[in-house]
Amino acid sequence: MIIDTHVHLSGDDVNGDALVKEADRLGIDKLVVFGTGGFYYDGPGNDECLAAASRHPDRIIPFAHLRLGYDDPIEIDKCVRKGFKGFKVLAPSANLNDRTYWSIYQRIQYYRVPVLFHLGILAVRRQQYMYDIDTSRMNPIYLDSILRAFPDLIVWGAHFGNPWYEQAAMLARWHNNLYFDLSGSSLKAKPPEFFGNLLWWKDNEQYGHGNNPWHGMLFGTDVSINMMEDVWNDYQRLMDTLKLDDDERRALMGENAARCLGLLPNDAQGDTDA
């Protein structure tokens, strides 16, 4: 199973038809999709995302955009009951580990669904001046205290923390419920060997605590539909250059995400009776 874990619903394809068609062509089985309309980006919002998932129920996995600092914990309950399978966080009003967010994380942990944090640099948009946005609030190091406080919270980190790759890698070595994608510009800016060096404990069980780092990585594109193939090729080059074995390739390209989403046989499903 191939799962793209980082897809923005496009205003030019609000029903997801073109997205699914391109996924068919590339051999991508499922897509984790979210919208951010009305907050930072113009475009489809949560309702449109859910509608696209209803149109393509076997292909699109809907995540709700969550506004940290603006949404209450009850929003988690509402979204899960509507059918969202996880959450996307972008541009929080304070550092990601601000204690005012603890009740939000506790509620997401209760439902055992993933939360995908945008990490690192955020693209500058001319229309963003009206929003309180600060890239420094999205440093991957803030995930450490979150994961210590909520050990059963399933955390996905976007862009491997770009540009704070080293912090992200060290967190991955210690937290087994933390996963990172390599979406965005990282696979263009850095050669495959860079990521192989960061994930150095692959063949060192003593220092890696028995945790294969590729069992903590995700395939994600985060680009327009016409650029998805380009990112797909970047991931293939990464795997080929680093000589990942079949198990590691399957894990990276889909099994890790499938396990988090409860899509593998015998996976425990979250109790959603709030």
In this predicted model, what pLDDT tens digit does every residue of 118-168 receive, in sequence order? 999 877 766 666 677 788 999 999 999 999 999 999 999 999 999 999 999
pLDDT at 270 over 60: no
The distance between the two most distant Cα atoms of the chain, rounded to a whole number of Å, is 50
CB 158 within 8 A of CB 117: yes
To which residue do tokens 């991957």 refer? 140
pTM over 0.85: yes
pLDDT at 193 over 60: yes
Supply the pLDDT for residue 208. Answer: 64
DSSP SS3 for 78: helix
Quick one: pLDDT band at residue 267, thresholds 50, 70, 90?
A: low
For residue 122, give both structure tokens. Answer: 């955020």
Tell me which residue of 78, 136, 139, 141 sits closest to 104, measured CA to CA. Answer: 78
The pair phi, psi for residue 89, each rounded to 5°, is: -115, 130
Supply the pLDDT for residue 273. Answer: 43
How far is the C-alpha of 37 from the C-alpha of 34, rounded, in Å?
A: 10
Supply the pLDDT for residue 131. Answer: 72
- Rounded to the nearest integer, the mean pLDDT of the chain is 91
Which residue ranges make up each domain of the chain?
Answer: 3-260
What is the CATH T-level fold of the domain 3-260, as seen in this structure? TIM Barrel (3.20.20)
pLDDT at 10 over 70: yes
How is residue 3 annotated by DSSP?
E
- Which residues, including other chains, have CB under 8 Å from residue 188's CB and lie 6 or more apart? 234
In this predicted model, what pLDDT tens digit does every residue of 22-63 receive, in sequence order? 999 999 999 999 987 656 667 899 999 999 999 999 999 999
